[in-house]
Structure 1
Amino acid sequence: MASLQEQLLKAGLADEKKAKAIRQEKRKKRKQQPKGAADVNESQARAQQARQEKAERDRQLNLERQKEADKKAILAQIRQLVETNRLDRSKGEEPYQFVHDKKIKKLLVEPIMADQLSRGRLAIVHVNDHYEVVAEAVARKIMERDETAIVVLHEKTQQNEPEEDDPYAGYEIPDDLMW
């Protein structure tokens, strides 16, 4: 089959001088460009893209590792706060019940601790699969780091201040009243 150039020459649409000049121009271009230059440029582009993708994957992996390290550091801080500030429950006789993970849990605490837990002066913290009782200030510090570690922390209430229009303001509730 004849090339397009030969067909144009036979049809009289191109002349021999122009065809020769075009062939020489093509030959010069081929000789100026080294062999495999197109392949080298393409492989360099692929290698550059692979380096960029690897750098992005490494960056993502480093971020995940950093997040894990931060999480472990926060957990260690919480453990240390609980270990140094937990209250002794060894003499606990009264059961204090609370809800954690949709289950009712029970701790044996002293009656004073139960009262302070209900008033918001003490809190229950869940660390290392154990429940510990800590002071409210320590619980607030733990809450700054991880809110999920605090299981029970009631808001403080002002029970001693009667309301202005309370009809029973003049009647004191006895301390030994049992319901």
Structure 2
Amino acid sequence: MVKNALQAQLLKAGLIDNKQAKKSSKQAQHAKKTGQDTQAALKAEIEKAKQEKLAKDNELNQAKQQLLEEKTLKANIIQMIKQHQITATDGDMTYQFIDENKIKKLYVNQQVYNAVVSGSLAIAKLEQNYAFIPQALAEKIDARMQGYIIGIQKQAEDQSTDEEDPYAAYVIPDDLMW
């Protein structure tokens, strides 16, 4: 009647009686038939799968949020450039600058040319065109996202010269026209 050795030893020692042994063996058989032993493992596996799915969903949500923030930032930058661009720039002077390893040429008037050379205006990329914007705004935009500001003229405050240079007294202007 007793199915395992432990129950037999407990019966011989007098710690349990036949009725308790039968009851425990029936409980073990019932648990085996209903799968209660495997249910705990199954629940653990399901919980692990839920945690993995939750982590993956959080990662995807963060990536989507980052893309949305980047798209919003780009739209804000374009809006700022359109709002603050200098519109009366057409003229007969040419201002040349480098964009994506290509020399670009814009025709501007004398006032805009002087402002760009002196550093009070900067060139910003606006879709397929270029716009002139104030230097302070250009620095803010460049700090937020690279790639929109093309020409920021840094004003040379400290021009170091070699003391033995015979041409040190002759300063070459930045806006030299050839």
Fold similarity call, TM over 0.5: yes
Aligned to 2:57: 58
Q: CA RMSD in A?
A: 3.5
Aligned to 1:117: 116
Paired residue secondary structure (1:147):
coil
Which amino acid is the alignment partner of residue 21 of structure 1? Answer: A
Structure 1 residues without counterparts, runs of 5 or longer: 1-16
Distance 1:63 1:117 in 2: 41
Cα contact 1:121–1:156 (8 A) shared by 2: no
**CA shift at 1:89, angstroms?**
4.5
Structure 2 residues without counterparts, runs of 5 or longer: 10-20
Larger RCO (alpha carbons 8 Å, 6+ apart): 1
Instruction: State the number of aligned residues.
Output: 157
1:19 and 1:123, CA in 2 relative to 1: closer, same or farther beyond 3 A?
closer
1:178 and 1:55, CA in 2 relative to 1: closer, same or farther beyond 3 A?
closer
**CA shift at 1:111, angstroms?**
2.3
Distance 1:178 1:28 in 2: 103
Indicate the percent of aligned positions where both proteins have the same amino acid: 29
1:49 and 1:68, CA in 2 relative to 1: closer, same or farther beyond 3 A?
same
Distance 1:50 1:20 in 2: 39
**CA shift at 1:123, angstroms?**
0.5
Aligned to 2:102: 103
Aligned to 2:31: 33
Aligned to 1:93: 92
Aligned to 2:145: 146
**CA shift at 1:178, angstroms?**
7.0
**CA shift at 1:90, angstroms?**
4.8
Of residues 21, 25, 34, the one that matches 2:8 is 21
Distance 1:81 1:18 in 2: 84
Find out whether 1:74 has 2:68 as its counterpart: no
Distance 1:100 1:146 in 2: 16
The 4+ residue runs of structure 1 with deviation greater than 6 A are none
